[in-house]
Amino acid sequence: MIRQPIVAVLGHVDHGKTTLLDRIRGTKVVSHEAGGITQHIGATEVPIEVVKEQCGDLVKNLTLTIPGLLFIDTPGHEAFTTLRSRGGSLADIAVLIIDINEGLQPQTIESLTILKQFKTPFFVVLNKVDRVRGWKPIGDNSFMRTYRAQDEGVRRAIDNKMYEIMGQLYDNGFESQRFDLIKDFTKSIALVPASAIQGVGVAEIMMLLAGLSQRYLERRLNVSIDGPAKGTVLEVKETTGFGTTIDVIISDGTLHAGDIIVLGGRNGIVQTKVRALLKPRALEEIRDPRYRFETVDEVPSAAGIKIAAPGLDDVLAGSPLMSATEDIDQARSTIMAEIRKFRIARDTTGLIVKADTLGSLEAIVGTLRRKEIPIRNADIGDVQKKDVIEAVSVAEKNIYDAVILAFNVSVSEEIQEMADRADIPVIRSDIIYKLLEDYEELLERMKREEEERKKMGLIYPGKFMLLPQMVFRKAKPAIVGVEVLAGRIEPNRAIIKGDGTKVGKIKGIKEGDEFLKVATAGKQVAVSIEGPTVGRQIEEGEVLYIDMPNSNIERLKEIELAPEEEEVVSFLSKLKKKTLLWGG
């Protein structure tokens, strides 16, 4: 049997995801959303008759056997990255919304990364064409018909904005083209200009969803209606009259009231029996507070359902679900293997990662792996004493990895104090993008501080030449004009000749009427030197070096120096070995 394709709608905040879904399903969900931003994943079933009605004559030559479309309304706001990640992983096909006037934004790029990670086919809706100067609606839901009715200047402006986004997509590894110009949809991403608020482009969007699903996803959508149910938990929440319930997308098989289901929990496997299946009617929203649930005996895939059952409090959002009428042990081991994929425990060095759901943990671990950042332990739940202890053991091997990342979880005052005492940074955020940004900033700061610590008390390399005809006093102290050839020279530094002979010590440095604490490469200054006499121990035109002990040379090798400074350090190192002054 062919099931409905599961459709995810992704994109940057305020680019028009919920408004587009409202147009498709004819509801006004956005009107009772906090701040107009989607806060929970919802699912909407759109029957094939409604799809055909919205497409009009665009699908008259298509044979559609899919029973409809099941939309997951995945939030686009950065704070809800975990839900979007789950939406991406569930989807058979996705629609990525981009504001045609703003182009790719950080969340757009994150969405592209998630779609690529889960190998989800998708096309792009270039929303808000109605904001292009001079645009005039004609009361038609087809973009192409409305586009042809526009003035030439408006059409050109839309085309130019589209070409700009095509370039941005190309920079992110995607070939793209306007949908009606594509010959092979497996090689180019289709672009559909649209206006969600006016309903323009909805006909083409529904045509592409139905047509591409029918053509490329038929084998994937062919499910065994009689097989055990498989799905993913979207949310765990209290429902009046039912206690703790779970919102689930069933993607395969059929779930029956009374079935035993196996899911992932905070402390291992959760096994329970379905008490009630609560299914929304077509074109109604799971999360609509006005909705009265319909109790059903069974739910074939694909469908968004609410399950009431005992013992659901421990269930993890993002967990896979399986019904197990016969082989319960097999179902338990399958679910456990899926959960362990992202709940990492390693003996090597690396970060400690704590997150609120499997979806968010998956997104963070995936991002860290792409950046080749090591992970010592990744798990679900609040930061605990054992996490700090583990980070302390990491610090013994690598101080830069001894960091705890806490995504959308609690860190008690006691645990924070423990981490502070142990000098373990805890980075907290409910935005993945920000969490990783803060970690990278911390890393830079730690490296800078380490560099500064290494530099404390260091003698820096210095190479300078006594300028000819610039001898102001020959001795007690000698005062000469010099040019700093590399590194720096400072008062109270011992100096040596090129053969290692000790010469004396710099007493002071002067430039014009000003005494200097340091003179760097390229400067010509007057220097007073205690010890030598010009014409005896030192000569005009001679090159001298700042002297330093072996231990200082070794420390200099650990810090970042200019190439010419490195040359001086290398020269001194060889010189000291040669003259048996090593170990000074």
- Give me the domains of the chain, ranges plus CATH numbers: 6-221 (3.40.50.300), 230-340 (2.40.30.10), 351-455 (3.40.50.10050), 462-578 (2.40.30.10)
Cα–Cα nearest to 333, from 273, 272, 381, 268: 268
List the pLDDT tens digit at each of the 584 positions of the chain: 888 898 888 887 777 787 888 787 664 444 444 333 222 345 777 888 888 888 888 888 888 888 888 887 654 433 334 344 445 567 889 899 999 999 998 878 878 877 887 788 999 999 999 999 999 999 888 999 999 999 999 999 999 999 999 999 999 999 999 999 999 999 999 999 999 999 899 999 999 999 999 988 888 888 778 888 988 888 888 887 889 999 888 888 999 999 999 998 888 899 999 999 987 654 445 555 555 677 889 988 888 889 999 999 989 888 889 998 778 888 898 888 877 776 666 657 899 999 987 777 877 888 888 889 999 999 888 999 999 999 998 988 888 999 999 998 999 999 999 999 888 999 998 777 789 899 999 999 998 887 776 777 789 999 999 999 999 999 999 999 999 999 999 999 999 999 889 999 999 999 988 999 999 999 999 999 999 999 999 999 999 999 988 888 888 888 889 999 999 999 998 887 775 544 44
Give buried/exposed letters for 242-269 (b at 16+ CB in 10 A, else e): bebbbbbbbbbbbbbbebbbbbbbeeeb
- Are 405 and 427 contacting, i.e. CB atoms less than 8 angstroms apart? yes
> In this predicted structure, what is the pLDDT of residue 83?
42
Amino acid at 509: I
3-state secondary structure of 361: helix
3-state secondary structure of 508: strand
pTM metric for this prediction: 0.66
- Are 543 and 485 contacting, i.e. CB atoms less than 8 angstroms apart? yes
Amino acid at 3: R
The span from the CA of 155 to the CA of 178, in Å, is 13
- Are 380 and 354 contacting, i.e. CB atoms less than 8 angstroms apart? yes
The span from the CA of 52 to the CA of 536, in Å, is 102
Cα–Cα nearest to 315, from 430, 242, 238: 238
Cα–Cα nearest to 105, from 167, 12, 14: 12
The span from the CA of 566 to the CA of 544, in Å, is 16
> In this predicted structure, what is the pLDDT of residue 71?
83
Query: Given phi > 0 = left and psi -120 to 50 = alpha, else beta, which region is 159?
Result: alpha
Which residues have CB under 8 Å from 159's CB, separation 6+? none
Beta strands at 68-73 and 276-279: parallel, antiparallel or unpaired: unpaired
State which H helix or E strand residue 79 sits in. Answer: none
CA angle centred on 55, ends 53 and 57, rounded to 5°: 95
Cα–Cα nearest to 546, from 571, 514, 523, 526: 571
> In this predicted structure, what is the pLDDT of residue 579?
58
Strand order in the sheet with 303-308: 268-273, 260-265, 320-323, 230-239, 243-252, 303-308, 276-279, 294-296
Amino acid at 326: E
Which residue bears the tokens 């000819």?
A: 468
The span from the CA of 574 to the CA of 545, in Å, is 14
- Are 94 and 7 contacting, i.e. CB atoms less than 8 angstroms apart? yes
3-state secondary structure of 297: coil
- Are 261 and 309 contacting, i.e. CB atoms less than 8 angstroms apart? yes
> In this predicted structure, what is the pLDDT of residue 406?
97
> In this predicted structure, what is the pLDDT of residue 268?
86
Beta strands at 404-407 and 351-355: parallel, antiparallel or unpaired: parallel
> In this predicted structure, what is the pLDDT of residue 47?
83
- Are 374 and 347 contacting, i.e. CB atoms less than 8 angstroms apart? no
| 443 burial type by CB count under 10 A (0-12 exposed, 13-18 middle, 19+ buried) | middle
Count CB-CB contacts under 10 A for residue 61.
6
